[in-house]
């Protein structure tokens, strides 16, 4: 369901009610630097509309995840890591480390990234 949730931190960032270091904003998405970066580039890309996680956004079938992936790549290009390589991560569910339940893609790069991740 595409709505804004008054109790959601990332909806508040979309609304400008919570400050963030925004690096890209489109009609569909907002991208901002993670407050606790895990790599030299660590940007979160979120849809403006509220979906709890990647599965919910994907099932909505409205191109939400397409927009997030496209804009994540644009962020990576702007950050100069598209060619060297970056990781786009969607922690989905508390057991996978999701702590903010408004879907967000982590764009990580600028250093060597191990595989498999922890
Ligand atoms: P998750 O653990 O849900 O995959 O990722 C949530 C991310 O949001 C974490 O990397 C965390 O550092 C980041 N985060 C949490 N609160 C804020 C905030 O208020 N501002 C920003 N920019 N990032 C935040
Ligand atoms: Zn939200």
The CATH number of whichever domain residue 30 belongs to comes to: 3.30.428.10
CA 51 – ligand 2 centroid, Å: 7
Q: Tell me, yes or no, if 104 is annotated catalytic.
A: yes
Q: In angstroms, rounded to a whole number, what is the distance separating the alpha carbons of residues 40 and 111? A: 7
Q: Which ligand is nearest to the CA of 43?
A: 1
Taking CA atoms only, the protein residue closest to ligand 1 atom 16 is: 35
- What tokens does 79 get? 């950050």
List the pLDDT tens digit at each of the 118 positions of the chain.
558 999 999 999 999 999 999 999 999 999 999 999 999 999 999 999 999 999 999 999 889 999 999 999 999 999 999 999 999 999 999 999 999 999 999 999 999 999 999 8
In a domain, 68, yes or no: yes
Tell whether 101 is covered by a domain: yes
The pTM assigned to this predicted structure is 0.97
- Domain that includes residue 79, residue range: 9-109
Q: Say if 50 falls within a structural domain.
A: yes
Strand, coil or helix: 45? strand
Q: Is residue 115 part of a domain?
A: no
In a domain, 21, yes or no: yes
- Residue 22 included in any domain: yes
The closest of 68, 61, 108 to 87, measured between CA atoms, is: 108
The reply to whether 49 falls in a domain is: yes
In a domain, 3, yes or no: no
Separate counts of helices (H) and strands (E) for the chain? 3, 5
pLDDT score at 2: 55
Distance in Å, CA 118 to ligand 1 centroid:
18
Residue from 30, 11, 108, 116 nearest 71 by CA: 30
Q: Which of 42, 50, 102, 104 is catalytic?
A: 104
For residue 72 the two structure tokens come to: 């994540």
Number of separate domains in the chain:
1
């Amino acid at each position: 369901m595409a709505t804004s949730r008054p109790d959601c931190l990332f909806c508040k960032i979309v609304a400008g009610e919570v400050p963030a270091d925004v690096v890209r904003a489109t009609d569909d998405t907002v991208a901002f630097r993670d407050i606790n970066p895990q790599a030299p580039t660590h940007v979160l890309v979120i849809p403006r509309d509220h979906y709890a996680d990647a599965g919910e956004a994907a099932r909505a079938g409205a191109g939400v995840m397409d927009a997030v992936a496209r804009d994540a790549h644009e962020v990576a290009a702007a950050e100069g890591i598209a060619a060297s390589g970056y990781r786009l991560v969607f922690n989905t569910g508390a057991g996978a480390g999701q702590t903010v339940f408004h879907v967000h893609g982590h764009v990580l790069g600028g250093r060597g990234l191990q595989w498999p991740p922890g």
